[in-house]
Structure 1
Amino acid sequence: MTLPEHPLPEPDATDPVTRRALLAGAGAAAIVGLTQTATGAWQGQAPRPIAGTPVLPPRMRGLNLELSPGSLSPSIARELASWGVNTVRINFGTDMAAGTATKGVALRPTRAEPLAPYRNNLAMLKRFTAECSRLGVGVMLAASGVFGRDLVKLDDSTGGSFRTHIRPSLMQFWTAMAEELRDDPAIFAYDVFNEPNYTLRRERDGAIWYEQIMPEAIRRIRAINPHIWIAVMPWPWGFPGRYGSMPLLDDPAILYSFHDYAPHNFTHQGVGTIARGAVYPGILREYDSEMPRFWDKGALARSMQPAVDFARQHGVRMMATEFGVVRWAKGRDTWIADMVAILEDNGIDWLFHTYNTWNGWNPSFAPDAEQVGTYPTLFGGVNSPGHRTLLRHWRLNQRF
């Protein structure tokens, strides 16, 4: 069986700190208390974009794409456009992470070749964005599996591992990528870092992200491209409930974002060690460490409220850059319909996760379909209610 994109290790694992390493008890800790005095942050309303910044459509609705051999083909771009998708977010990383490395050889970035670990994926990306530009599909590029992320130690409460392996690599990545892609007409936004995290043990751990890494990455990008939109998300993992600690940034083109898989034990059932059988709506634990409670549309809306409040308070564009549920979850179609309705009712842009690579998240496959890591098209052959909900809303889109 091909490993899913988000398998979950035991809490003491030291795997790459992406959703692959999400702790089963992650929701137990609250990240609070950071004020809007972090470097690059300010109090007040967000400034307006400067002339030359890409004009966003009234609503961005689309999906995420992961990297694997052939996953960013021009034919995939055409399939997206035929559905009405106007925005796609690409979780970008090294050729090794994507399985596209030549002869399976891992390359290191150097001063002369800072994009050496990404060359095959970069070539695939450029072919894809050329077709997206022709079709009017906007592309958001997210730094995800960057060089060194697999060396970050989970639950390193000092933050030393995160600073050592992510900070220099991420700065090198964005400096080189912003220069390489500054004239690409399809790419309208850079997502600074996908699901920033290394621990949930202490409330103050997020300061490394808010005060050091995030503002520095933005400065690096802005030095090269003053017009690109920049997406940011709260520490940790981009949970919407963490917007109580998110600073408002004094930058003219910021997209604030979050990822929403609540309740986690429902949306991720059958992934890693999480048991199957949870039904939505119903009495559910968000994580194993939390008490069971009733989850329905109202509960989903309440869990998202901090992000909604932040957007309304500051007059900023808010975007759910990931939300999704495994296709075998009972009540999946209702969950998708409820999530989309909440996002639409609150004026939040959204990107579903996901239709490509591991097909466990793809609602156009039957619940009992074979699990595969790649598929020649996004459509799995089943016009399920969840798939129809997404299609109906994608077809409301205006193009970039």
Structure 2
Amino acid sequence: MNLLKVGCLIAVLAAAAGLQGAYVNGELLWEGDFTTREGAARAGKEALEHFRPDAGPDGKGALVFRTRRNTETDWIRIPLPAGKLAGMIQLEAVVSGKDLAPGGRPFWGSKVMLNFQSAGKSRWPETSRNFGTYAWSTAGMAEVIPADAANLGLYLGIQGASGEFRVATVRIYRCVEGREESREIPANPIAAAIPRGPGHGTKYRGVMSGGDLSPEAFRRLADWGVNLIRYQLNPGLNTPKIDLSTREGYLRWIEAEMQRLDEVLKLCRQYDIKAVIDLHAGPGNRISKVSSNEIDTGLDVNTLTEAWRRMAKRYKGNPSIYGYDILNEPVNNRTPSVDLWQQTAERVTSAIRAIDRKTPIIIAAGFSISQFGNFKPLHYENIIYSPHFYEPFAYTHQGVGGAWKIHWRYPGWINGVYWDKEQLRVSMKDAIEFQRKYQVPIFVGEFSVIVRAPGGERYLKDMIELLEEYGWDWTYHAFREWAGWSLEHESTPDGKILSSKDNPRMRVVVEAFRKNRR
């Protein structure tokens, strides 16, 4: 997990008032109804120019945005009353897409996005993006509009991507504490169109490692039935204090980590558990205890390649190795992201294959699951592709890095979208389509939900059922790393995290581990 990249989202959610209970729609503060020409005209000249009669749901109108290439942008900006919207709001938009293809950067695509300036900074919160062709559905988000917000605007359309995007309505509500039981659960046409998996289950089920890799910890994992551990090579987890800012220092750290891993592999063999070697922090000038995996702003590809040459030489032919996970959650901030990471992955893979031709190599498509839409399989054998799933972040990460204040519930309405098992399927759509198109194996290296989240056991059950349906190996995040993710902890109603010998989340995941064949 790359906590630096989710920090902004969590900070927004944590900044909301300290309410307890679910958030629901209160007063309707602003509405853009684009189903009629009159409604589009009220939103301004640009909106009216994009209005098309009969393009919306039920034969009504809608705004239509089209681009032919993923270098094009077609969008509009609608001014919004910042003073009226100050506070916590919930935005819901009724949208549809046709042949939407991702652009070159993770945040390009269809847009339902706010923009405003506050405290000297510009912020761009937006709803999640879907690609491909999908029927009318709701996209939503919650956001805190500061009292000093200036130049508040709503962007609708397509940025740096190709396809067609339609918007029928946008509504902004005051976000308040309450209950949603009376709200009708909507149909999910996007989920209905996603092909189902074969349902044969999977072979490897396990955990992400934390700081405790003792014999007792391995006995515990074996008792649960775990047969896979994703071992973090992570500067923040029990490693010698070495200056990692230089090539020499980073490679010394790799050598120290391999000595530690050698001892871990002895326990893996003893307890019949395979290991993923997860390079959790790449070499560069932004090394920290969390991550330095920014491909275009300092990653030292030469040192990364050398690190993997050394590991491939040491672990070639080791039967306890499940695969080489060459870089955790790679992210690009400036350049067209997929191409640059694709080149890096090809280079590292080539170096490994010159030494070790058989051990599987694990490749993430990028930090965002949507980047599977642009990524191409590598032309080597024994390649496994690896997404991480934490959707919806507003639910799985509520209270991470701040006070326990937000109570989204699962299943339920989260950021204006009803999240249940089928909406989780939608969040996996790009990985599902990638696997079907290229017939490649998938390993989900991380998924989790904070212990405080109401309905966490149901969330984990639904997640695991989907992973099993599509036949994806998986490791839960994480075992004895931080209590907030731990299966050996639970939460009190007021958000305190306590040790636990038994709890609903643990039972769900351990029940899945029992399916492993020893």
TM-score w.r.t. length of structure 1: 0.74
Between the aligned partners of 2:127 and 2:226, the Cα distance in structure 1 is: 32
In structure 1, the partner of 2:438 is 314
Taking a change above 3 Å as real, the CA distance of residues 320 and 160 of structure 1, as seen in their structure-2 partners, is closer
- 8 Å CA contact 2:202–2:471 kept in 1: the answer is no
Taking a change above 3 Å as real, the CA distance of residues 398 and 178 of structure 1, as seen in their structure-2 partners, is same
Between the aligned partners of 2:274 and 2:124, the Cα distance in structure 1 is: 34
In structure 1, the partner of 2:221 is 80
In structure 1, the partner of 2:408 is 278
- 1:346 CA displacement: 1.8
The structure with the greater share of residues assigned to helix is 1
Q: How many residues are matched?
A: 333
Taking a change above 3 Å as real, the CA distance of residues 25 and 355 of structure 1, as seen in their structure-2 partners, is farther
In structure 2, the partner of 1:54 is none
In structure 1, the partner of 2:515 is 396
Q: Pick the aligned partner of 2:467 from 327, 339, 343.
A: 343
- 8 Å CA contact 1:320–1:351 kept in 2: the answer is yes
Between the aligned partners of 1:140 and 1:25, the Cα distance in structure 2 is: 35
Taking a change above 3 Å as real, the CA distance of residues 388 and 366 of structure 1, as seen in their structure-2 partners, is same
Taking a change above 3 Å as real, the CA distance of residues 5 and 226 of structure 1, as seen in their structure-2 partners, is closer
Between the aligned partners of 1:233 and 1:345, the Cα distance in structure 2 is: 21
Q: Pick the aligned partner of 1:330 from 447, 454, 458.
A: 454
Residues 246-257 of structure 1: matches in 2 within 5 Å? Answer: 246-257=375-386
Taking a change above 3 Å as real, the CA distance of residues 120 and 151 of structure 1, as seen in their structure-2 partners, is closer
Residues 222-261 of structure 1: matches in 2 within 5 Å? Answer: 222-235=353-366, 237-239=367-369, 241-261=370-390
- 1:82 CA displacement: 1.7
- 1:176 CA displacement: 1.5
Q: Which has the higher contact order (CA 8 A, sep 6+)?
A: 1
Between the aligned partners of 1:99 and 1:256, the Cα distance in structure 2 is: 28
Residues 203-222 of structure 1: matches in 2 within 5 Å? Answer: 204-210=336-342, 212-222=343-353
1:177 aligns with 2:311: yes
Unpaired stretches in structure 2, ≥5 consecutive residues: 12-122, 132-159, 163-200, 289-293
Q: CA RMSD in A?
A: 3.3
In structure 2, the partner of 1:381 is 500
- For residue 169 of structure 1, what is the amino acid of its counterpart? T
Larger radius of gyration: 2
In structure 2, the partner of 1:38 is none
Between the aligned partners of 1:30 and 1:193, the Cα distance in structure 2 is: 26
Between the aligned partners of 1:316 and 1:365, the Cα distance in structure 2 is: 36
Between the aligned partners of 2:390 and 2:261, the Cα distance in structure 1 is: 27
The structure with the greater share of residues assigned to strand is 2
Residues 1-400 of structure 1: matches in 2 within 5 Å? Answer: 6=3, 8-10=6-8, 28=128, 59-66=203-210, 68=211, 71-94=212-235, 97-101=236-240, 104-106=241-243, 115-148=251-284, 150-151=286-287, 160-161=296-297, 164-199=298-333, 204-210=336-342, 212-235=343-366, 237-239=367-369, 241-273=370-402, 275-285=405-415, 292-368=416-492, 380-399=499-518
Taking a change above 3 Å as real, the CA distance of residues 231 and 24 of structure 1, as seen in their structure-2 partners, is farther
- For residue 279 of structure 1, what is the amino acid of its counterpart? R
Between the aligned partners of 2:232 and 2:391, the Cα distance in structure 1 is: 21
Between the aligned partners of 1:149 and 1:192, the Cα distance in structure 2 is: 18
- 8 Å CA contact 1:93–1:147 kept in 2: the answer is no
- 1:105 CA displacement: 4.3
- For residue 231 of structure 2, what is the amino acid of its counterpart? I
Between the aligned partners of 1:371 and 1:145, the Cα distance in structure 2 is: 28
- 1:348 CA displacement: 1.7
Between the aligned partners of 2:455 and 2:474, the Cα distance in structure 1 is: 20
Between the aligned partners of 1:29 and 1:305, the Cα distance in structure 2 is: 11
TM-score w.r.t. length of structure 2: 0.58
Between the aligned partners of 2:259 and 2:127, the Cα distance in structure 1 is: 38
Note the alpha carbon deviations across 1:217-240, whole angstroms, 9 max, x for none.
1011111111100111112x152x
Between the aligned partners of 1:6 and 1:24, the Cα distance in structure 2 is: 19
- 8 Å CA contact 1:73–1:124 kept in 2: the answer is no
Between the aligned partners of 1:319 and 1:138, the Cα distance in structure 2 is: 13
